[in-house]
Structure 1
Amino acid sequence: MSFSGILVNQILIIFIIILIGVICYKTKLIDDTTNSKLSNILLMLVNPIVIFVSYQRDFSKELLEGLLISLLMSFAVHIVGILASYILIRKKRKQVIVLDKIRIKKYVDAENVEVERFAAIYANVGFMGIPLVNGIFGSEGVFYVTAAFTVFHILSWTHGVMMMSGEKNLNFKDFFKKLINPTIIGIAVGLICFIFQIRVPDVVYQALGHIANLNTPFAMLIAGVTIGKSNIVKLFTKNLRIYYISLIRLLVVPLISVMMFFWLPINETVKITAILMSAVPTAAIGTLFAIKFNKNAVLAAEIFAVTTLLSIVTVPVIIKIAEMLI
């Protein structure tokens, strides 16, 4: 089966779990408090273990080279996202006013620019990326996803924070404090174990593997609950600009990434993983940042929900295009 075929199957599985999450919220089986606790368990426990387990493999020069290439490719994808968002999402927008039957064009300050740009740049490499890559390539794919995780955390807590807060001077003490989190620790410890070939006992590995298997159901249930908070019909009709932001996140950035990467003479797993990471929907952390910096958190949550639902269609399309070119 082709990558896109496997991906469609994986996305259908994910969609069903998301739907179950929506039902759980509507029937009050999972409330906001429970969802918050599930999110913490996923971020603080499950994700780091998924990453650590992916590093429990035989060392090879090819894997290490692939990881470094993945790191560079992830930086490239984020740079594309930043440039595209600054070009396509402007701080000034043209407004037409009719005064005494005379049409007057003027430029006014746009609202929610920071929220829209963040949503267009930063992708959900954790919640959506890991389950999708794991479904196609297994733990080897997750191994390469850790590069995207690292770049995402570095840039979102530097560029992302400065953009959302409006502050030009970054507080490096706060940055490093936020950077030292279970995910980064999982990457660091896992990398050390990979390089020096430190293996945990088989019984420990199996136990960690069971916890790692919680990643997809937890992540998608959380996404489903988040979507369940919105009126789905109104979500897709009340603010058409969300489609514009979704277009940038789900099609513009991934298609540019495909054009940048398809010709590279590198490992196919590394290449497809990098392209897939560029194509996943908006990061959930955008809503948290919007709350923290007094931005439009409702809009951030709506963009997250819409891009997550639309990605069910767009992600297989992007990977199919990549397959045809590669």
Structure 2
Amino acid sequence: MSILENSIIVFHQILIMFLLMVVGYILFKTGIFDNHTTTHLSTLLNTIVIPCCVLASFNRDFDPALAGTLGLTMLSACGVFVVSIALSNALYRKGHPENYRDCRMCAVFSNNGFMSLPLLSAMFGETGVFLGSAHIVVMAVVLWTYGVMQVNRDYRFSPMRILLNPGIIAAVLGMLLFLSPVNLPTDVASALTHITNLNTPLAMLVLGGYLAQTNLASCFTEARIWRVGAVRLLVIPALTMALLYFMPLDNTAKLTLLVGTSAPTAIASAMFAQMYGSDYLYSTKVVALTTILSLVTLPAVIAAMSFLLA
């Protein structure tokens, strides 16, 4: 797939995203949405909708070869997150800057669902979407452990809290479902699909509500926003490319993982920040800026990796 074709796909995804965000923006400005609304919707997304997305991606027939590739992709995704977290912790040290926790969240976590899955579907079909779920599952685990640890200042380590959080429960159930000889009943799978379809519109409406509380011009004029954006869109993808080049994965799996890693800042960064009382308006600005810039950076990163793997 050419750089132009990738650019068109990403452009359409961004356009859809911003149209939905405009609706959320208007809803907040007109008083239909308020802080309580966005808080409750954020909780709904992170505890029900996103875990359902993870579970639904594993509702398919077992394939030994594909299972092996998925396992290696997951291990590689773990390596990518280790590198990303180490880099972010080094760049954003305790107290420097003051909102260092939110900076770490914005740098480490990518919007690997809405932005990545449609692109993977166009590039590699159902196999791309399935392998893309590897990064989503690993991120769900990291988000509900490391992520919550960052934004929840009262966080206390608890193995049971980690094991019983929605993201990890969904990941475990999904893996068991994929490894089993059965699929979900048709009606259950259909209900799950309806819930997963809420992910994009609800997330964009919430983000639009967040944007309604910010100075939009500051998204493009604050140097600190650009610096975090550069780490998320350029530095971490570059490190990922170097890591993947030497991993024993086929090219499809490498590109699939790179797409998830190179996506703009995750909306969950802002959602979790609001849920736990952190600086969610700062995270919202980073999400907005990186989403726009990804129109250029995401296809460029994919093209560069394709050239290296040729």
Shift of 1:253: 0.3
1:101 aligned residue = none
Partner in structure 2 of residue 65 of structure 1: 68
Where do 1:36-185 residues align within 5 Å?
A: 36-89=39-92, 110-126=97-113, 128-130=115-117, 133=120, 137=124, 140-160=127-147, 171-173=156-158, 175-185=159-169
Larger Rg: 1
Deviates more, 1:137-146 or 1:188-197: 137-146
On the 8 A contact 1:282/1:303 being kept in 2, the answer is yes
Instruction: Output the TM-score relative to the length of structure 1.
Output: 0.77
Classify the secondary structure of the residue corresponding to 1:193: helix
Paired residue secondary structure (1:11): helix
Q: Percent identity?
A: 35
Deviations 1:166-189 (A, max 9, x none): 89xx8442x531442333222222
1:255 aligned onto 2:255: no
1:225 to 204, 209, 234: 209
Root-mean-square deviation (CA), in Å?
3.3
* Residues 51, 143 of structure 1: 8 Å contact kept: no
Cα distance in 2 between the residues matched to 1:217 and 1:135: 21
Task: Select the structure that is richer in strand.
Answer: 1
Indicate whether 1:190 and 2:196 are aligned: no
Q: Quick check: 1:145–1:273 contact (8 Å CA) kept in 2?
A: yes
Kept in 2, the 8 Å contact 1:275–1:319? The answer is yes
- Alpha carbons 1:54, 1:140 under 8 Å: kept: no
CA distance in 1, matches of 2:33, 2:125: 29
**Paired letter, 2:208:** G
Paired residues, number: 306
Q: Give a deviation string over 1:60-89, Cα, whole Å, max 9, x none.
A: 112211221121121221122133334444
Q: Deviations over 1:138-180 (max 9, x none)?
A: 654443344334433444455455666789xx8442x531442
> 2:218 is aligned with what amino acid?
K
How far apart, CA to CA, are the structure 2 residues paired with 1:206 and 1:138?
Answer: 20
Gaps of at least 5 residues in structure 1 are: 93-108
Q: Deviations over 1:97-130 (max 9, x none)?
A: xxxxxxxxxxxx6533343233222334456555
Point out where structure 2 has 5 or more consecutive residues left out of the alignment: none
Counterpart-to-counterpart distance in 2, 1:135 and 1:256: 25
